[in-house]
Amino acid sequence: MPSIYLIWILVRVSQTINQSEGQTVASLTERLVGLIRGKQVSDADLHQTALLTLDAVANMIAGRNSVPGRKLLKWVTGRQGDAARRAFVMGGLTHILEVDDIHRASVVHTGCVTVPVALSLAVDQELPGEKLLKSILFGFEASSRIGMAVGPGHYKIWHNTATCGPYGSGMTAATVFDLSDEQTTHALGNAGTQSAGLWEFLETGAMTKHLHAGRAAEAGLVAAELAALDFTGPPAILEGNAGFFAGACPDPDPDAVLRNPEEKWQVHSTSVKPWPACRHTHPAIDASLALFDDLNGSSIERIEVETYQAAIDVCDRPVANSEYEGKFSLQHCVAAALSRGQIDFLAFGQEARREAAELATKVNVTSADPYATSYPGSWGAAVSVILSNGRILKSAKPECKGDPEAALNDQEMISKAEDLIRFGGFNDPAPVIEGIIEMSHGGKSINVQNILVPIN
């Protein structure tokens, strides 16, 4: 079977021959723009987009009530008049608490790079709710499709939300601005050339990850603003000889950008987090919580976690020295779930980490099938608890709560939003929730100015 590189070379040679014969071959970006704008949008698509918009806004509000959030709000004071600056801060706020959405197949947190762009632009102009939601829908599609094409090698070094997010934010802004297909291609080209975001911050638990979401949102918006002035960008930013795939993707799958154009919009394949931790920990959390009642205070000898390699690469952290490290620790998350029976914001505080520390040392994490080979199409895990009396309790979760196969219903989404909005200092969540849901039924875009007002 020919390698992906051989196939890619043959495609490039074919393109060169066609171009030499006077035929113009559209770039991947040009065809992606056409694919997105050619898809039918139904009421169900807009409703799902509204729910994901609600999730992002709730995360944005809740992110204000955090140390990094307060720093971002302090920094933006006096800069709110700039749409790109607003999008930057709102993107960062949305991603802070690690409970925002994620598109599994692309490993992109899509809401934090698209919703802030649409809402930031809505501050300066009155947008019909349907148009705002459609811009977010299109942005989800762009970032997800490009994220599905980067290959697993990219994710080992690069944070996909940071690198693929600018394409989604660029597509969102281009839709709000009513840019032509050519201008939109320029916008995505210049958004993509700003792609960046490395995993090194995990070594110290630095606050860098929030910048990834913020910069991705800002980069696409700026690129679209410039494209509106006919500022040109590279149309072959993805597949070009010195483009995104060549520079940052050891094993790309370029065909994934345009694959299955007739399938549902990617918003329907987006997972929603029920717990405030890295999504890679969620299958193991889900499995652990399922065992809590059966434990009934039994003494635990050891705990075996089987999952996929990417979860281990990002979240194999036996000792969690901070709240943030706890959110990226399979060991702590499993120990906390088994000992507390619930995972909430308190599960990662200093007291909770101290209480779970001994049990976390008994957690052994390995990559195993079917979870290893099913990733990234599905994110799963199995947890086996070996008790001191020799009894074994096991729970397997091929998918976990919040995935499309086990989706949160509308009321669960609203309840999650209510909790987050109150956590962020808004006493009455109803106007925010009702305003966003109403956008899918012809309402106007909501007013988000007060999201950037620091909490007293």
pLDDT at residue 8, rounded to an integer: 42
Domain definitions of the chain by residue range = 31-271, 279-401
Question: Rounded distance, CA 271 to CA 251, Å?
Answer: 25
Given a cut of 60, whether residue 196 has pLDDT beyond it is yes
Please report which helix (H) or strand (E) contains residue 143, including its range: helix 129-149
Question: Rounded distance, CA 163 to CA 171, Å?
Answer: 14
pLDDT at residue 256, rounded to an integer: 98
- Residue 236 · residue 243 · CB < 8 Å: yes
pLDDT at residue 454, rounded to an integer: 58
Pairing mode, strands 300-307 and 363-367: parallel
Is the bond into 250 cis (omega within 30 degrees of 0)?
A: no
Is the model more confident about 420 or about 452? 420
What average pLDDT does this structure show over 99-109? 96
| Second-level CATH architecture of 279-401 | 2-Layer Sandwich (3.30)
Given a cut of 70, whether residue 1 has pLDDT beyond it is no
Residue 125 confidence class, pLDDT cut points 50, 70, 90: confident
Question: Rounded distance, CA 57 to CA 150, Å?
Answer: 28
Rounded to the nearest integer, the mean pLDDT of the chain is 92
pLDDT at residue 4, rounded to an integer: 45
247 class by beta-carbon count within 10 Å (0-12 exposed, 13-18 middle, 19+ buried): exposed
Given a cut of 90, whether residue 444 has pLDDT beyond it is no
pLDDT at residue 11, rounded to an integer: 43
Q: What percent of the chain has pLDDT over 90?
A: 83
Question: Rounded distance, CA 412 to CA 237, Å?
Answer: 40
pLDDT at residue 235, rounded to an integer: 98
Given a cut of 80, whether residue 265 has pLDDT beyond it is yes
For the entire predicted model, the pTM comes to 0.87
Question: Rounded distance, CA 231 to CA 183, Å?
Answer: 8
pLDDT at residue 452, rounded to an integer: 66
| pLDDT tens digits for range 283-316 | 999 999 999 999 988 999 999 999 999 999 999 9
Question: Rounded distance, CA 88 to CA 220, Å?
Answer: 10
- 408: tokens are 């949160």
> Selecting from 1.10.569.10, 1.10.4100.10, 3.30.310.50, 1.20.1440.230, what CATH number does the domain 31-271 have?
1.10.4100.10
pLDDT at residue 453, rounded to an integer: 62
Range of lowest pLDDT (23-32, 36-45, 62-71, 141-150):
23-32
What average pLDDT does this structure show over 265-294? 96
| pLDDT tens digits for range 151-186 | 999 999 999 999 999 999 999 999 999 999 999 999
Pairing mode, strands 392-397 and 381-387: antiparallel
Residue 446 confidence class, pLDDT cut points 50, 70, 90: low
pLDDT at residue 5, rounded to an integer: 42
What average pLDDT does this structure show over 214-229? 98
| pLDDT tens digits for range 393-415 | 999 999 889 999 999 999 999 99
Question: Rounded distance, CA 144 to CA 149, Å?
Answer: 9
What average pLDDT does this structure show over 359-371? 97
